[in-house]
Structure 1
Amino acid sequence: MSAIALPKAVENFVTTTNTHDGESLFAVFAPGATVVDDGATYATEAEIREWIKVHQVDPKIVITPTSFDDDRLLASIDGEFPGGPLTFAFTFATKDDLITNLLIEAV
């Protein structure tokens, strides 16, 4: 993991994303969580599972944190997609070490 201190939920998201294990990644989200990525909102269990498969696992995303401040993670993202690595901002809302809301934006 990185030398940047991350809250448990954020650390779990980064670690499980980097292992490309969809079930483990789904487990870091609280029931009723939402993900907003690339202009689309994923709000049901089926939608979040599909988002994980298509946007995280299949392209083998690797997140390298560069900074964390006020629930916002800046990170370099690489994987099996054209144009990488890219920089993204991840804004988290969490409760009980689980993600309740995640907003992902290109920087």
Structure 2
Amino acid sequence: MTIQTARLSDPAVRAFVTAVNAHDREAFLEVLAPGATMADDGSDRDLGEWVDREIFTSHGHLQVDNESQGGRALLARYSNDTWGEMRTRWTFTVGEDGRISRFETGQA
């Protein structure tokens, strides 16, 4: 069962998913804290390069199936033009300013 993006519990995570699905790079970057970091399948990646390749140039899309940890952990079906669709997990660290300082993703 898919959770509607508007119903995601954490406002920063909701903004992140909304920006990904709208292919809105500017809104995506606004939800990230300065110096934000990320990892894919346990390896740290260059955030700007990764989001361009995996989200924005390849039409990434998240369908959230489950959330936990107050909305800061997601199980989702992620699809893009490069890899097709796969089950993924996402975890988010949100700072006191309400922006995401780190996210980690990988196959679920």
Aligned to 1:86: 86
Deviation at 1:85, TM superposition (A): 1.6
> TM-score, normalization: structure 2?
0.83
Deviation at 1:97, TM superposition (A): 2.0
Describe the SS at the equivalent of 1:85: strand
Aligned to 1:31: 34
What is the distance in 1 between the residues matched to 2:76 and 2:85? 10
What do the CA deviations read for 1:24-72 (whole angstroms, capped 9, x no partner)?
Answer: 2111110121101144313xxxx32222111110110110111100121
Q: Is the 8 A contact 1:26 1:48 kept in 2?
A: no
What do the CA deviations read for 1:66-85 (whole angstroms, capped 9, x no partner)?
Answer: 11001211111112124x32
2:9 matched to 1:10? no
Describe the SS at the equivalent of 2:9: coil
> TM-score, normalization: structure 1?
0.84
Aligned to 2:73: 72
Cα RMSD of the aligned pairs, angstroms, is 1.8
Stretches of 4+ aligned residues off by more than 3 angstroms: none
What is the distance in 1 between the residues matched to 2:80 and 2:44? 22
State, as a whole percentage, how many aligned pairs show the same letter. 27
| Long gaps (5+) in structure 1 | none
Letter in 1 for 2:19: T
Letter in 1 for 2:102: N
Q: Is the 8 A contact 1:22 1:49 kept in 2?
A: no
Aligned to 1:61: 60
What is the distance in 2 between the residues matched to 1:24 and 1:79? 19
- Structure whose residues are more often helix by fraction: 2
Aligned length: 102
| Long gaps (5+) in structure 2 | none
